[in-house]
A and B are shown apart, each in its own frame.
Chain A
Amino acid sequence: MSPENATPTPSPAPSAGGKKVRAPRQKMPEQPAAERARNFNEVPYGYSAELAELEASRCLQCKKPACVEGCPVCVDIPGFIKRVAAGDYLGAAQAVKATNSLPAVCGRVCPQEEQCEKLCVLAKKGESVAVGRLERFVADYEREHGKGQLPPKAPPSGMKVAVVGSGPAGLTCAGELVKMGHEVTVFEALHKAGGVLVYGIPEFRLPKAIVQAEVDYLQRLGVKLELNSPVGKSETVDELLASGFDAVFIGTGAGLPYFMGVPGENLIGVYSANEYLTRSNLMKAYLFPEYATPIIRGKRVATIGGGNVAMDAARTALRLGAEKSFIVYRRSRQEMPARSEEIHHAEEEGIEFQLLTAPVQVLGDEAGRVKGMECLRMELGEPDASGRRRPVPVKGSEFVLDIDTVVVAIGNGPNPLIPQTTPGLATGKHGNITADEATGATSKPGVFAGGDIVTGAATVILAMGAGRRAAAAIDAYLKSKSGKLLAP
């Protein structure tokens, strides 16, 4: 991906000998790197209406749009873009919302370059239509200027569904089911709804007010919300079924952080990315002491891992005042699972990448606080089971990285609360819930599951896709159930 600087002015189509040439892919204005690395405000400002229309005009309106096939929730991409080009922003928003209940979120955090934009026919020249930016524009426009028009709802079915977890999978499933006329209650363990969208993804990438607006919208649609309700503890799935819910959807995510298992990992100043980000995002520790939750503001912070979560943590460290923020990753840049846009943003902000480097142990002082991390350089060997080249230690390459805080961002396992307390719910060898990919149906009748709790840590949009497919399957299940009930 080419670097795109803050350029708030449209780039017009160049004229070449009287022949009309397509305008280039429009850049999205953003905060300068040096400035934004020290604040928690959102990085990109988003398109102006002028930029959005210009970008929308680049869409070829393909008869068989490949982009739609790349979208896990099948947004009518040419349809909404056509409306943007025509200046009908609210109409465009409606078109997106027909299949995507969280467009302002997806416009920001979807890996479009791997999905819709990858399949755009203009992609070959690296000039695919900026579908994500346009989606973000219409969602933001609607939130700010729309009348909050609600989509039509089917008549009440008299059926009740419990949705466990208010992350992307749960919110999507709830939104679909309530439109189908079912009574939906979402159970959330934390004190705020949104799951990873509120505790994990930082404010500078996804403002919390936007997540709240999406949650408010679902509540206006009629979705009930039970906060502070960790199902498995506060009530079990069986208790939900016994108390009048006709079906349960489990979307509890990947919420059990992995650690490396190296010595010194329990020293003060070693965080899981979940804890580091939860303190900063959900608990607003960056506003301590106005907000009561503290966080260690390391001067030299090492984040271990190469995914989007690692980028979020490393960039958060800078905003918390770190003089130096490192990414320590055992493979090379090519194997990094993070979105190229996130890596690019991190580099721009001055994050230092220690690639082909693996931690050996965390070193502490007498009080048990981190004072350094011993690492080992790696080289790439033969491909492993994941198809990526396996990192192999370079003998004698040990060195100590001078740091005072470590954030471990090497992934999450499935949260055990529900599998442990739900008899009859089949799980895989890693503890993930076993569910049918097309329907989300689990081994337990009336219980469906989707998102990271089934697949392991993945993306927001894949979880949303699973929530959407499960909603359709739950609807069918409820109809057959009520049919059986009504039948003599």
Chain B
Amino acid sequence: MAKVVSRREIAPQTVLLELAAPKIAAKRRPGQFVILKKDEQGERIPLTIAMADAGKGTITVIFQMVGAGTRALGAVPVGGEVLDVVGPLGKPTDIHKVGTVVSVGGGIGTAVAYPIAEAMKALGNKVIGIVGARSRELLILEEEMRAVSDELLVTTDDGSYVRKGFVTDVLKEVIARGEKIDEVLAIGPVPMMRAVCKVTQEAGIKTVVSLNPIMIDGTGMCGGCRVEIAGQTKFACVDGPEFDGHQVNWDVLGQRLAAYKPHEQEACRLHDAEKRA
């Protein structure tokens, strides 16, 4: 049982939840995730830990309220409780001194990119941050990313803020500057990560992505989160969630993420009907 310490809607349908989870806060390292289950009937929802405050004993997760499960979780008020919180799960990011790192966050993926960029910066790497979103109102953690980046570049798909373009457009420009880039970290929707990996593969830059397949236990037991890496089946929960982006079979990931679309629609209809009642 974890109490909600603070809750903010940082963008439309996008909730930041700070939870009291002292053991996880002390133990977690960047790149790791937790699984939250709101109540007895709830789903187990895996979410990357965006921030943690070991002193205060809290962890922060950021998610979009897109399905019935995330909507229910996002509705827990300050002072309310989440029944089950388990973690930290997954392998931590391989944080190392490498030189110049470009950290690309797309949409909600910026919540995952942020703690990794923060740790990379803390270790003395030069961090170039690129954050993007469909529009200005959906852009998250801009200030936080700026604080841990030597340079932060912002873009919106519709041009409603700073500039118009995808994160890949900005990335191509950074590469074209001729500066040596040692590593790219890309976290966001599947089409974005796939596009980033295409760009970096052509440029020959090592790229790490964080994958978010559907999972249940998060400890290797169910195998639901399997992804195909270099033709081999891996479990994102215990072998990942981070992988070499150039080795990922994006078709398999994209398809598997859509496994329960019909169920989600049914559950959302029910959720909405209950809300109206």
Contacts and interface: CB of A to CB of B under 8 A. Distances in A.
Contacts of B266: 289
A189 B221 CA distance: 10
Interface string A239-269: 0000000000000000111010000011111
A293 interface: yes
Interface string B29-46: 000000001000111100
Contact of A294 (B23, B86, B223, B267): B267
Query: Which label, helix, strand, loop or mixed, suits the secondary structure of the B interface?
Result: mixed
B267 A228 contact: no
Interface string B162-183: 0000000000000000000000
A481 interface: no
B41 A292 contact: yes
A190 interface: yes
Query: Which label, helix, strand, loop or mixed, suits the secondary structure of the A interface?
Result: loop
A227 interface: yes
Chain A interface category by residue count: 35 or more
Interface in B219-241: 219-224, 226, 228, 233, 235, 238
B19 interface: no
Interface centre among A228, A271, A291 (most CB of B within 10 A): A228
A191 B219 contact: no
A271 B221 CA distance: 12
B265 to A, nearest CB: 11
Contacts of A227: 84
Given A266-B226, A268-B255, A294 B260 contact: yes
Contact of A288 (B24, B84, B86, B263): B263
Contact of B219 (A189, A259, A272, A296): A189
B197 interface: no
Interface string A77-92: 0000000000000000
Given A234-B86, A274-B223, A294-B267, A283 B216 contact: yes
A266 B223 contact: no
A279 interface: yes
A230 B258 contact: no
A189 B86 contact: yes
B27 interface: yes
B107 interface: no
Interface in A280-298: 283-284, 288-294, 296
Nearest to A415: B220
Given A191-B84, A296-B259, A233 B89 contact: yes
Contact of A272 (B222, B228, B251, B259): B222
A425 B238 CA distance: 19
Contacts of B85: 228
Nearest to A268: B259
Interface in B39-89: 41-44, 68-69, 72, 83-89
Contact of A234 (B23, B44, B223): B23
B216 A266 contact: no
Interface centre among A266, A269, A288, A294 (most CB of B within 10 A): A294
A368 interface: yes
A167 to B, nearest CB: 11
A398 interface: no
Nearest to B218: A230
Nearest to B217: A190
Nearest to B252: A266
Interface centre among B216, B223, B252, B263 (most CB of A within 10 A): B223
A278 interface: yes
A267 B256 CA distance: 7
Interface residues of B, number: 44
A296 B259 CA distance: 9
Contact of A230 (B89, B264, B270): B89
A233 B87 contact: yes
Contacts of B23: 234-235
A230 B86 contact: yes
A191 B86 contact: yes
A256 B221 contact: yes
B258 A416 contact: no
A433 B87 CA distance: 23
A279 B216 contact: yes
Given A279-B216, A283-B43, A235 B27 contact: yes
Nearest to B86: A228
A284 B222 CA distance: 15
A292 B86 contact: no
B44 A266 contact: no
A235 B260 CA distance: 33
B255 A368 contact: yes
A278 B233 contact: no
Contacts of B218: 230
Contacts of A234: 23-24, 27, 86-88
A367 interface: yes
Interface string A215-238: 000000000000111100111000
B7 to A, nearest CB: 20
A266 B233 contact: yes
A190 B35 CA distance: 10
B83 A191 contact: yes
A417 interface: yes
Interface of B: 23-24, 27, 37, 41-44, 68-69, 72, 83-89, 216-224, 226, 228, 233, 235, 238, 251-252, 255-256, 258-260, 263-264, 266-267, 270
Given A234-B24, A268-B256, 12 more contacts: A189-B221, A228-B86, A256-B238, A259-B226, A266-B228, A274-B222, A288-B263, A288-B267, A289-B263, A291-B41, A293-B44, A294-B260
Q: Which 6 residue pairs are nearest across A and B when measured between Cβ atoms? A: A368-B255, A294-B263, A275-B222, A228-B86, A272-B223, A292-B43
15 contacts: A234-B27, A234-B86, A257-B222, A266-B233, A272-B223, A283-B43, A283-B44, A283-B216, A289-B263, A292-B69, A293-B43, A368-B251, A368-B252, A415-B220, A417-B238
